[in-house]
Amino acid sequence: MSDPGVTMTAPDEDDGDEQPGIKALLESYKYAPPSTTVEVTFGAQSSPGRSRLVNEDHYLVLRLGRHQETVMTSLPDELIASRFEEQGYAMVVADGMGASGAGEAASHVAIATLVHLVRYFGKWNLRVDDVIAHDIMARVKSFYRHVDSVVVAYHRNAGAVRMDQTTLTAIFGAGHDLFFAHVGHSRAYLLRNGQLMRLTRDHTVGPRPPTAMARAPLVDVNVAARDLTHILTDTIGMRGSVGPTIDIERLQLVENDRVLVCTNGLTDMVDEVRIREVLASDQQPDAQCRALVDLALAAGGVDDVTALVARYHIPR
């Protein structure tokens, strides 16, 4: 006897045309979520400043995934894939600030704490809609708050006289969706169709000294973003009852987008005209990162410099 709470419907009669059903669902190319098809190529390069004994920058490139794997089945191989996998990706940069290289501990603790939070408390949402996007952004903000409190506690427990701090800039997402979360004066850029867009704003005050060359035509995603000096107003590890301002935004990726996440050791030494040229080149992301770091060192390289680049291939 059928369940009275369930309405049973018979399949359509076969009229000679192919009917929707399990066969259509198995044509995965029609239904594959973007998190299974978007491909990302990464590059990373980091170097201490010429006068630095310790590189206070740290970085992370991360792939998140979930999969379904067939262990045993009586179904034919052509009807069920042996493995189905989805991926998400993240890039994180932290630029530590402290006396005698002590900022290295702050950037180290910040990224390590963030990784553990994602691993144990993240939902790993790889199919993003507006509701999920809101949840992701709220969760990441809470993660950043916790990272800030851990860095403060770390130095307090170590008996540090001076409060060592760090920037923390991350881009992350799956499929067509990209998020960025940001505190400090490290930066994230997007190159799209040859145009360079600054995603983040510097959490600093005062005018920044002019660079040697004119800046590239620049589109700020956040219209409040300005070129500012390194008197930081917000960092991870700052003391205070409120904590730092955390910028979190979401955007949609398109084919061949390139994303750069970098510390100010790059942007202080290399103007955005040159950054755009490197990102727009046909070089692989790892070669682009090496080129950007080499340019910063050749221009003086007084600060530690880190560059991460992601290139996105999004099938139609």
Amino acid at 171: I
- Yes or no: say if 67 and 85 are a contact pair by the CB < 8 Å rule: yes
Residue with more model confidence, 12 or 151: 151
Cα distance between residue 306 and residue 265, in whole Å:
7
Residue reference for tokens 């000679």:
16
**How many domains would you assign to the chain?**
1
What mean pLDDT, rounded, does the chain reach? 83
Confidence tier at 226 by pLDDT (50, 70, 90): very low
Query: Pairing mode, if any, of strands 204-207 and 228-232?
Result: antiparallel
Q: Which two tokens stand for residue 90?
A: 């993240």
DSSP string, 13-54: P--SSPPSSHHHHH-HHHH--HHHH-EEEEEEEEE--TT-SS
The alpha carbons of the chain give a radius of gyration, in whole angstroms, of 23
User: How large is the average pLDDT for residues 273-290?
Assistant: 98
Summarised one tens digit per residue, pLDDT across range 159-209 is 655 658 999 999 999 999 999 999 999 999 999 999 999 999 998 875 444
Cα distance between residue 144 and residue 248, in whole Å:
10
| Residues 6 or more apart in contact with residue 173 via CB below 8 angstroms | 88, 89, 90, 128, 179, 253
User: How large is the average pLDDT for residues 267-283?
Assistant: 97
pLDDT at 269 over 90: yes
CATH number, domain containing residue 246:
3.60.40.10
Percent of the chain surpassing pLDDT 70: 78
Torsion over CA: 226, 228, 232, 235 (sign): positive
> Coil, strand, or helix at residue 277?
helix
pLDDT at 265 over 90: yes
Domain assignment of residue 18, yes or no: no
Q: Which two tokens stand for residue 59?
A: 């970085």
Among 18-22, 53-57, 232-236, the range of highest mean pLDDT: 53-57
Residue with more model confidence, 217 or 121: 121
Q: Which two tokens stand for residue 281?
A: 């080149």
Cα distance between residue 111 and residue 104, in whole Å:
11
Domain assignment of residue 24, yes or no: no
Domain assignment of residue 85, yes or no: yes
Query: The domain containing residue 203 runs over which residues?
Result: 43-313
Cα 83–86–91 angle (5° rounding)? 140
The answer to pTM > 0.85 is no
Summarised one tens digit per residue, pLDDT across range 125-173 is 899 999 999 999 999 999 999 999 999 888 788 765 565 899 999 999 9
Domain assignment of residue 20, yes or no: no
DSSP string, 62-126: EEEEEEEE----SS-GGGS-SEEEEEEEEEEEEEEE-GGGTHHHHHHHHHHHHHHHHHHH-----
Confidence tier at 227 by pLDDT (50, 70, 90): very low
Q: Report the pLDDT value the prediction gives residue 156, as an integer from 0 to 100.
A: 80
DSSP conformational letter for 301? -
Domain assignment of residue 37, yes or no: no
Summarised one tens digit per residue, pLDDT across range 34-90 is 999 999 999 999 999 998 889 999 999 999 999 999 999 898 877 777 888 999 999
- Provide the 10 A C-beta neighbour count for residue 188: 25
Domain assignment of residue 28, yes or no: no
Domain assignment of residue 199, yes or no: yes
Domain assignment of residue 251, yes or no: yes
User: How large is the average pLDDT for residues 272-282?
Assistant: 97
Residue with more model confidence, 110 or 25: 110
Residue with more model confidence, 22 or 311: 311
